[in-house]
A and B are shown apart, each in its own frame.
Chain A
Amino acid sequence: MKWLFVLLLSICGVSVSHAIDPIEMSDPVLQERYRNLSHELRCMQCQNQSIADSPVGLAGDLRREVRQLLEQGKTDQEIRQHMRDRYGDFILFRPEFSPRNAWLWITPVLLLLIGIGVALRIIRQRVSLAPTDHSNPDDVGHDQAGHR
């Protein structure tokens, strides 16, 4: 039992050490913005990690870049755009709307609308059938119709 506990502890230790972000900024407000931004930017070498979580060299360079841009007084949006100009939409974990990815954003809404349309039509059909059901509340057949 004890070895299992030790094993679990060591696994936790490993994951924690990866999440640790070595850059400390003087201003706590900047530090908070830095923390948020570095979690929003993808590490391009290890694509399912953010640059905050990745131990890879390039992620470190990008963290330094983000810190420098923050110190230059750039807004979060400017920093996101700065990265996007260089690495494309892919670097953002939350991609922004652009003509190229428009269909990605529009398709779910379109499908939802189609779904609602189909649902409304089916409900209307049911409703138009309903009076015949209500005319006979004690009928056994009514329950079956209701469950259909």
Chain B
Amino acid sequence: MKRFLLPAFVFALLVAVLFIGVQRAPQKTVIPSALIGKSAPAFSLPVLGSTEQFSESSMRGRWYLFNVWGTWCPECLNEHEMLLEVARSKKVPLIGLNWKDDDAAAKSWLSQLGDPYDVVAVDRDGEVAIDWGVYGAPETFLVDASGTVVYKHVGPLTQEVWQSEFLARLPSAGGAK
């Protein structure tokens, strides 16, 4: 009997490893961000429809959402209603990064669908998106008051994700200003 003990143990271990692997398989398409727990990459970019520049350092002391979008991105259209709802809730400021897009197209998108953003920074050649490790729009980052990236969601923002991943992390008292 004793000689079967080790093979049985190895087999059980293999089953456990494969089981966990299969359980987690659906998440494999989403690559975890390397920026979680690190400070948000610095940038200074032109503001959409303005001559001003926007820098992430101006958000220091406040939590904010950083949403990467483009008018060429169909999933961004799908999440737009949710972004408007987030903006209406006034829980947290929403900063947009208009990624590799056309200014005129971006402006008409916002005037037609509604503008949920406090500021939209324009990243026409995608340099800042690389610094943030963006690999597909839409992506939404949650950054805390010290400028540290707390969470990143890849894909359209949904009510479930907003509730469970973002609202749950926001400090309930002083999150919105």
Contacts and interface: CB of A to CB of B under 8 A. Distances in A.
Interface of A: 44-45, 57-58, 61-62, 65, 84-90
B62 interface: no
B32 interface: yes
A127 B122 CA distance: 75
Nearest to B31: A90
B5 interface: no
Contacts of A58: 126, 135-136
Contact of A88 (B34, B41, B132): B34
B91 interface: no
Contact of A87 (B31, B41, B125, B127): B31
A62 B125 CA distance: 11
A44 B131 contact: no
Given A62-B130, A65-B130, A88 B136 contact: no
If over half of A's interface residues share one DSSP class (helix, strand or loop), that class is named, otherwise mixed; here it is helix
Tell me the interface secondary structure of chain B in the complex. Answer: loop
Contacts of B31: 44, 87-88, 90
B133 A86 contact: yes
- Closest 8 A/B residue pairs (Cβ): A44-B135, A88-B34, A86-B133, A61-B126, A87-B133, A90-B31, A65-B130, A45-B136
B136 A57 contact: no
Contacts of B33: 88
Contacts of A61: 100, 125-127, 129-130
Contact of A86 (B34, B100, B126): B34
A44 B136 CA distance: 8
B135 A45 contact: yes
B3 to A, nearest CB: 12
Interface string B14-46: 000000000000000001111100000100000
Given A61-B130, A62-B130, A85 B34 contact: yes
A106 to B, nearest CB: 15
B167 to A, nearest CB: 26
A86 B130 CA distance: 7
A90 B135 CA distance: 12
A79 to B, nearest CB: 12
Nearest to A88: B34
Interface in B94-150: 100, 125-127, 129-133, 135-136
